Amino acid sequence: MLCKVRFVEIQSLTAKIPLYCFGLTLSADRKLVLGFLQKQSKMVDCGLLTHNREPVPLKHIEVDLQVQGHVAAVTSTLQYVNEEEHPLEAVFVFPMPSGAALCQFSAKIGDQEIVAEVQEKQEAREQYDDALSSGEQAFLLEESEESADVFKLSVGSLPPGQSAAITFIYITELSVEADHSLRFCLPTVLNPRYTPAGTSAGIVSEITSSSTGIPYSLSFTAHITSPNPITKVESKCPLEPLMFLNTDQTKAKVSLCADHKFNRDVELYLYYQNPHQLTAIVEAGAPTAQPGSLMGDPVVMVSFYPEFPESVMSSVSSCGEFVFVMDRSGSMSDMMYNGPDAQKRIECARDTLLLLLKSLPVGCFFNIYGFGSDYESFFPKSVQYTQDTMEQAVKKVKEMRADMGGTEILRPLEHIYTQDCIPNHPRQLFIFTDGEVGNTKDVLHCVRRNADFHRCFSFGIGEGASSALITGLAENSSGHAQFITGAERMQAKVMQSLRYALQPAVIDITEDWSGVSFTPLSPPIKTLFHGQRALIYAQLKGEECQKPDAKGKISVRYRLGDQDVSNTVNFSLKPAENSGLAIHRLGARSLIRSLERDEQDDGADKEALKARVVELSKQSGVSSSHTAFIAVHKGSGQAVKGPMMPRRIHADLMLGCSLRSFHLCRASPFDIFLPQTPEAPKDLLLQLISLQKASGCWEMESKLAEVFGRTEKKLMKKIPAQVKPDVWATLLALIWLHGFKIDAQVEWQILAMKAVAWIRTQKVVNQSECVRVGNVLLGCQVKEDALGL
């Protein structure tokens, strides 16, 4: 007998969701109910559960990764068994990288395989309901209404004792890391998404967990092909040795070790030679598709990854309005990772805000917002950066707690956008969140409406942050996104983004094609920062594509600083090897996403745009917000009869889910927050940073002497003649940074540049002598020119 649960709204839950637990028992109008805290703090069913509150067993996951240059096709097969005495309907929820395109889904029940087809979403839902009421096995796979990086699979009428193998294929672009590697991530967790009051329950999720660990096995293999030679493949997970499959090392294979524990994201970092080289890959159309259609014609993918010269990297702007928006919801009290040295997310955020405040240029404007169920700002509006305003902000940062309830990011953003922009000070938003938001599409629409007045640098904190939210914030405002996972230092990635915000960016980007007729599939590129890459998709048309020796050429022209630059690549129109139409489908996904964004604009012809999206989705087999995958197995089942009943599960079965680890929903008459006390800087580097003045200098004091392992009296005894104490202190700080913290240079480089600029204003007559004495005093061997003086 199928069961039904009543769905209610939840405000915030903070536990993570292991992949094997996504979903719940039995559906109610296909909406997810994965938790609700009643006034007595009781929980409704969560996880993929039977009516006896046991998980539907997931036995094995098999993942095959096919990489072609900068894109990847991922095939995942999940094997389930219904060990109950009753047929089950279950909902399985899984995350997907932002920008990924789901393009194929099939299910095998026993010996029978069912392949899904793409249909308009409402038609697919009605067909699914009709199949269930007739006793037929059915599968419905659809994109979440709230966030494009979450998919929901409804498994209908799985017979007792029966096994089910569910296979889905998606394609995605690989992100570029700071060291020029390409990153692929297989998510294991999807953080619960906060849903604001007055909206639908959406994709809020909670978990159960086996006390004996992950109850299933995983196999993972990656096949890599690149236009340029592959130099290495790395991972934070244990890998088998890399195997090259040809002599020029453009093809390789690597697998996850068999004893891997699937308790964190599986990440691969791929390194190619000549990463900044403009490349183009042509993919043949499907033989069965109509010539002239998107899937019937060849499609080209151009990888554009501009190189920034040192002259640009060393230039820093002194203007701007910097608005830091910090998640202070309950989940920010979670640990950054599982380990003895792990900090809480809010602690890392405080340290990072301190570093940002010290690194801002004199004369800029800034403000800091904290948000949860509500929001607050340090100042009524952005203030000029001075010693006084910086000290006020530092004091408030040290008092910040993860004590603001849920994760409602839309309201503070709307408030920020109502503030008048400051002339000649471009507005730059730095948004920090663990991504637990249920109204992602509304947030991104708000950001896009205001894209002409700001750009956004977004940071996803911890495993499972929503890639759709974090990446979408940046993409919709010509900004830059970063993810901080595992033991990575938040400070390093955030300071990298601050450099981007202060440096010139690639602008005025144009594409010149020759030798080919084409239809663009990608939106125009507006801005690229250092370390960013763009993929350009185009449908190739015309008879020239049929000639065996036909050539095409594309030149990408842009402006960087005061320079006009052009990159050109010649490419053969002869298609590459069959790659499963991954490039076609990513091109289709790019066009579909553009049309979906256009639907949000005021005055848009929504019906016409929807019809075009549905047409493209069905033609390419790529998922969209208006379509779903539907598969029905015509069997001899009997119609489902009888009422659907709710089931409950006690809170003590939740993973880490005591009153210490989640916040109560707004329906509760009370909230519980654990007291926290401010902590001192975690290391000497942060202590040094905390003592720097807004101008860039340090003053001689006992706390600074502690960083150097000396007394203030000893430091002053060695001061060279005619040198002021603050100049001496600043020179010692620079020597210490270069001598002992060079590995963390990305974190302190900007504030060191401020210090150097300040020293130059002091006209130090015996600077070389100061550096020599400082080296002896601190036990360093730093050369004067290394300090940038």
Domain ranges of the chain: 19-274+624-653, 279-306+507-619, 316-502, 684-787
Q: Would the pLDDT of 524 be above 50?
A: yes
pLDDT at 649: 22
Q: How large is the average pLDDT for residues 41-57?
A: 42
Q: How many Cβ atoms sit within 10 Å of the Cβ of residue 425? A: 18
Q: Would the pLDDT of 55 be above 80?
A: no
Whether the pTM exceeds 0.85: the reply is: no
pLDDT at 257: 86
Q: How large is the average pLDDT for residues 280-285?
A: 88
∠ CA(503), CA(504), CA(507), 5° rounding? Answer: 150
- Mean pLDDT of the residues in the chain: 79
pLDDT at 579: 60
pLDDT: is 579 or 381 the higher one?
Answer: 381
Question: Is residue 201 within 8 Å of 105, Cβ to Cβ?
Answer: no
Alpha carbon distance 719, 355 (integer Å): 28
Q: Would the pLDDT of 297 be above 80?
A: yes
Please, what is the angle between helix 345-359 and helix 745-762, to 10°? 30
Give the tens place of pLDDT for each residue, 432-464. 998 767 788 889 989 988 988 899 999 988 877
Give the tens place of pLDDT for each residue, 346-376. 999 999 999 999 999 988 999 999 999 999 9
pLDDT at 484: 86
Q: Would the pLDDT of 244 be above 80?
A: yes
pLDDT: is 404 or 601 the higher one?
Answer: 404
Q: How large is the average pLDDT for residues 206-221?
A: 55
Q: Which of 19-33, 53-67, 174-188, 454-468 is predicted least confidently?
A: 19-33
Question: Is residue 746 within 8 Å of 718, Cβ to Cβ?
Answer: no
| 316-502 matches 19-274+624-653 in CATH topology | no
Burial class (CB in 10 A: 0-12, 13-18, 19+), 213: exposed
Residue of 471, 461, 484, 463 whose CA lies nearest to 188: 463
Q: Would the pLDDT of 609 be above 80?
A: yes
Q: Would the pLDDT of 189 be above 90?
A: no
pLDDT at 651: 23
pLDDT at 571: 87
Structure tokens at 459: 């940071």
Alpha carbon distance 613, 148 (integer Å): 15
pLDDT at 659: 23
Give the tens place of pLDDT for each residue, 746-776. 899 999 999 999 999 998 888 999 999 999 9
Give the tens place of pLDDT for each residue, 716-728. 999 999 899 999 9
pLDDT: is 646 or 128 the higher one?
Answer: 128
Give the pLDDT band (50/70/90) at residue 207.
very low
pLDDT at 587: 94
Phi and psi at residue 564, in whole multiples of 5°?
-100, 130
Question: Is residue 138 within 8 Å of 124, Cβ to Cβ?
Answer: no
Q: Would the pLDDT of 312 be above 60?
A: yes
Alpha carbon distance 753, 480 (integer Å): 23
Provide the total of helices (H) and of strands (E) in the chain, helices listed first: 16, 34
Q: How large is the average pLDDT for residues 136-161?
A: 75
The yes/no answer on whether domain 19-274+624-653 falls in CATH 2.60.40 is: yes
pLDDT at 186: 80
Q: How large is the average pLDDT for residues 266-282?
A: 90
Q: Are strands 365-371 and 321-327 parallel, antiparallel or unpaired?
A: parallel
pLDDT at 41: 28
Give the tens place of pLDDT for each residue, 385-436. 999 999 999 999 999 999 998 888 999 999 999 999 999 899 999 999 987 6
Q: Which of 34-38, 167-171, 599-603, 766-770 is predicted least confidently?
A: 34-38
pLDDT: is 208 or 175 the higher one?
Answer: 175
Q: Would the pLDDT of 518 be above 70?
A: yes
The DSSP bridge partners found for residue 208 are 654
First to last CA, the chain: 78
Q: What is the CA radius of gyration of the chain?
A: 28
Chain mean position to CA 312? 27
Q: Would the pLDDT of 190 be above 90?
A: no
Question: Is residue 556 within 8 Å of 278, Cβ to Cβ?
Answer: yes
- DSSP codes, 590-657: HHHHHHHHHHTSTT--HHHHHHHHHHHHHHHT---TTEEEEEEE--------S-----EE-GGGBTT-
Q: What share of the chain is helix, strand, coil (3-state, %, to 5)?
A: 25, 30, 45
Residues in contact with 617: Cβ distance below 8 Å, sequence separation at least 6, in sequence order: 118, 588, 592, 623, 624, 626, 627
pLDDT at 576: 64
> What top-level class would CATH report for the domain 316-502?
alpha beta
pLDDT at 611: 94
> CA dist 291 to 87, 297, 390, Å?
46, 6, 63
Q: Would the pLDDT of 324 be above 90?
A: yes
Q: Would the pLDDT of 712 be above 90?
A: yes
Alpha carbon distance 521, 509 (integer Å): 16
What CATH code is assigned to 279-306+507-619?
A: 2.60.40
Share of the chain above pLDDT 90, in %: 39
Q: How large is the average pLDDT for residues 20-34?
A: 30
Give the pLDDT band (50/70/90) at residue 682.
low
pLDDT at 237: 84
Evaluate the CA torsion angle 751, 703, 348, 236 in order and state its sign: positive
Q: How many CA atoms lie less than 13 Å away from 374 in the CB half-sphere?
A: 5
Q: Which of 28-42, 120-134, 427-441, 729-743 is predicted least confidently?
A: 28-42
Q: Would the pLDDT of 23 be above 50?
A: no
pLDDT at 640: 35
pLDDT: is 651 or 77 the higher one?
Answer: 77
pLDDT at 607: 93
